[in-house]
Amino acid sequence: MKTASPITAGHAVLETVIGFMGIAWSEKGLIRLCLPERSREAVERRLFRHAGVSSSTEQPQWVVELIASIKAYAAGEDVDFSGVPVDLDGVDDFRLAIYDEARKLGFGETTTYGELAKRAGHAGLARETGAALGANPVPLVIPCHRILAAGGKIGGFSAPGGSATKERMLAMEGVRVGPPPDAQASFAF
């Protein structure tokens, strides 16, 4: 009897409490992660814009676990994605260094583009670091939302919803960005 061949690639669209999200994987690891959209179809369209996304929906065990973790994160739980395998074939050494350093940031931990560049061995390349993070194929797993502009400003974000999405994700992790609330607004009376 012939056994089924192992699943080497696929994709999934998942419904979370913050919207529909999507992932795609290869035999080596995660290749795409789409942050929340309003519809399943919008996520599918975004996933299939990228080469290498398989139409298979069969899920290896690590993908089943990743989906559960993404749903838990979306529900506000502290989730560590640092162990998720990622397939970054074709990514240059500079971006690999930036992504590797970003993955070391834990839930609710932030740094600046300049500091991340320095930690990755590329001091002075804050702008290039921002561009690298803007091209991040697997946000959340490579937590680019945790990187802020100088002075604690929110900075850019290339996901749907832009900086507002970044700010919401940080708020879910207990990080407040921007000026403190007005003194009158901070009390319940």
Chain-centroid distance of CA 120 in Å reads 18
pLDDT of residue 177: 83
Active centre residues (catalytic): 144
What gap in Å lies between CA 136 and CA 99, rounded to an integer? 8
Label residue 94 left, alpha or beta by phi (over 0 means left) and psi (-120 to 50 means alpha).
alpha
CA distances from 169 to 45, 76, 90, 102, 107 (A): 23, 9, 28, 16, 10
Question: In this predicted model, what pLDDT tens digit does every residue of 95-115 receive, in sequence order?
Answer: 999 999 999 999 999 999 999
In the predicted model, what is the mean pLDDT of residues 66-78?
Answer: 97
Structure confidence at residue 170 (pLDDT)? 95
Count of CB atoms situated within 10 Å of the CB of 171: 12
pLDDT of residue 156: 87
pLDDT at 158: 87
What is the structure's pLDDT at 52?
Answer: 86
Give me the mean pLDDT over the 156-169 stretch.
Answer: 90
Question: Where does the pLDDT of residue 160 fall: very low under 50, low under 70, confident under 90, or very high at 90 and above?
Answer: confident
Question: What pLDDT, in 10s, does the model give residues 21-54?
Answer: 999 999 999 999 999 999 999 999 999 998 889 9
Which one is predicted more confidently, 103 or 179? 103
DSSP state of 85: -
Q: Are 139 and 33 in contact (CB under 8 A)?
A: yes
The backbone torsions φ and ψ at residue 91, rounded to the nearest 5 degrees and listed phi first, read: -85, 135
Q: How many helices and strands in the chain, by DSSP H and E?
A: 6, 5
